[in-house]
Structure 1
Amino acid sequence: MALSVVAPFYQNGLYVNAVCKQLVASQHRFQAPPQIIIVSYHGIPLSYQTKGDPYGFQCKHTTALIRKNLALPVCNLLTTFQSRFGRQEWLKPYTEDTVIQLAKQGVKRIMVVAPGFMSDCLETIEELEHELARIFRYSFRMFQNS
């Protein structure tokens, strides 16, 4: 069995256009458009970036291309990182912390997209669709009632 490695495609126009097309199509499922779109990527330990791993830059560059393609202001399309574990520091901002801050600011409608996953991943679906949604709803209620 041969192993082949795919070259980085974070700035490939076909990839960025496909993400944008899916993002726009997904917005039509909601009654009202999201106030904020979070583009969440799987995190890596910060030490990897310190040693020269370009992944964090590539993620932020992809988000910038999505933002440009959709003509969205910086404040409406955010880059975050998810799925951290252990005690070491990971790439920031963390998706969970960002969602809590948005709830604290009174944001009612967010949309989270994970363009780094090329196929459905049960861990990511559970983490974003279920856990993160629960955290956002809970945080929103907590901050609105305080």
Structure 2
Amino acid sequence: MMTKAGEGRLTHAPADHPAVLKPKIGILFANLGTPDGTDYWSMRRYLNEFLSDKRVVDIPDWKWQPLLQLIILTRRPFTSGANYKLIWNKEADESPLMTITKQQIAKLKTAADLRYGAEVMVDFCMRYGNPSTQSVVDKMVAAGCEKILFVPLYPQYAGATSATANDAFFKALMKVNRQPAARITPEYFDRPSYIDALAGTVERAYAALPHKPDVLVASYHGMPKRYLMEGDPYHCQCQKTSRLLRERLGWEKGSIDTTFQSVFGREEWLKPYTVEHVAELAKQGKKHIAVISPAFASDCIETLEEINGEIREAFEHAGGESFTYIPCLNDDEAHIKVLMEVVEENLLGWIQ
């Protein structure tokens, strides 16, 4: 709310002093992103921004950009657009990721309002696409946020997810005249409440099935194996999430397989690859499997189309009989509780 010169806390200011906003704390959640539409140019803009990120593809520009601009971005927008059309929220004219993120933020706003009142402002941005990180940071600063807590919606840390989201946040701050104090939250891959929330989705899904699956596959987004060797902790954190989930469920070793999906390019990525692994399970006689995606805070193209489409087909084509996809945590109340725990811990010292 605007406070004019001479009013409120600025009673000492001269009459011509610029209007000053009541100080607030911003809580900014960041998700990966989504194209604005499924048409060629919307897909091309989104893919260009995503695939030009050095954290995602670290090939030198002189090698990568000609290939990207002249070959990949002339073809891939058509295939990616077709895949998005399969899952597009036609009623809202947006991707499921956008719909779900809005639902999450609505519940987080309610929770934050109950906890902190008007002292905080909750919003979200996308690393790629809209709303951009810059636009939301600008909005928060314009609304009087003198402190901003930045919350990447990635349970496990990876340079290509958490770090690039943080990069965009810090770059946005570089363009702000009155920079707010800033904090970023750490990954929450081993937080007990997060593991409990994952376990809850598994237990509910299994309770609704006529028979227990032979194996639960925990499919995480992949990355080049080289990144692991260069010190990225993502692979180790994924393995720990799977182990903690198995222990929380009280299952024996070997009951959860950790795999990686969304392989891109020719170099070796983290293995085993989900699409190959589920086919091998079917060939081994494991005809009933379930798949969960612990690395995604929201269902998206990689879960709704890739897992529930391509990966399901690979399993069934190899002889699998029943394939159960367990949705992401999305706006489940247990997930909102996890995220609010993260927020509350990281606001200590800023607000009571």
Q: Normalized against structure 2, the TM-score is what? A: 0.39
The partner residue of 2:205 within 19, 26, 40 is: 26
Distance 1:5 1:40 in 2: 26
The partner residue of 2:188 within 9, 13, 22 is: 9
Query: Is structure 2 residue 212 aligned with structure 1 residue 61?
Result: no
Distance 1:80 1:123 in 2: 14
Query: What is the CA-CA distance between 1:41 and the residue it aligns to?
Result: 0.4
Query: What is the CA-CA distance between 1:123 and the residue it aligns to?
Result: 3.1
Query: What is the CA-CA distance between 1:29 and the residue it aligns to?
Result: 2.6
Tell me what 2:286 maps to.
107
Query: Is structure 2 residue 275 aligned with structure 1 residue 92?
Result: no
Please give the per-residue CA displacement for 1:89-117, whole angstroms capped at 9, x wherever unaligned: 11111111111110110111000000111
Please give the per-residue CA displacement for 1:69-100, whole angstroms capped at 9, x wherever unaligned: 11112221111111111101111111111111
Alignment-mate amino acid for residue 53 of structure 1:
D
User: CA separation of 1:5/1:89 partners in 2, compared to 1, >3 Å: closer, same or farther?
Assistant: farther
Secondary structure of 1:15's aligned partner: helix
Query: Is structure 2 residue 126 aligned with structure 1 residue 126?
Result: no
Tell me what 1:144 maps to.
none
Tell me what 2:261 maps to.
82
Please give the per-residue CA displacement for 1:119-142, whole angstroms capped at 9, x wherever unaligned: 11123211111111111111117x
User: CA separation of 1:5/1:121 partners in 2, compared to 1, >3 Å: closer, same or farther?
Assistant: farther
Distance 1:52 1:111 in 2: 31
Tell me what 2:225 maps to.
46
Secondary structure of 1:90's aligned partner: coil
Please give the per-residue CA displacement for 1:41-63, whole angstroms capped at 9, x wherever unaligned: 00111111010000000000000
Q: Which has the higher contact order (CA 8 A, sep 6+)?
A: 1
Distance 1:6 1:120 in 2: 22
Secondary structure of 2:319's aligned partner: helix
Higher strand share: 2
Distance 1:71 1:9 in 2: 21
Distance 1:10 1:94 in 2: 21
Identity %: 38
In the alignment, structure 2 segments of 5+ residues that lack a partner are: 1-136, 138-147, 149-168, 170-182, 321-352
Query: What is the CA-CA distance between 1:8 and the residue it aligns to?
Result: 1.3
Q: Normalized against structure 1, the TM-score is what? A: 0.91
In the alignment, structure 1 segments of 5+ residues that lack a partner are: 142-146
Q: Is the 8 A contact 2:276 2:314 kept in 1?
A: no
Secondary structure of 1:81's aligned partner: strand
Distance 1:140 1:75 in 2: 21
Tell me what 2:317 maps to.
138
Alignment-mate amino acid for residue 282 of structure 2:
A
- Runs (4+) of structure 1 moved beyond 4 Å? none
Distance 1:75 1:121 in 2: 28
* Number of residue-to-residue matches in the alignment: 141
Distance 1:6 1:110 in 2: 34
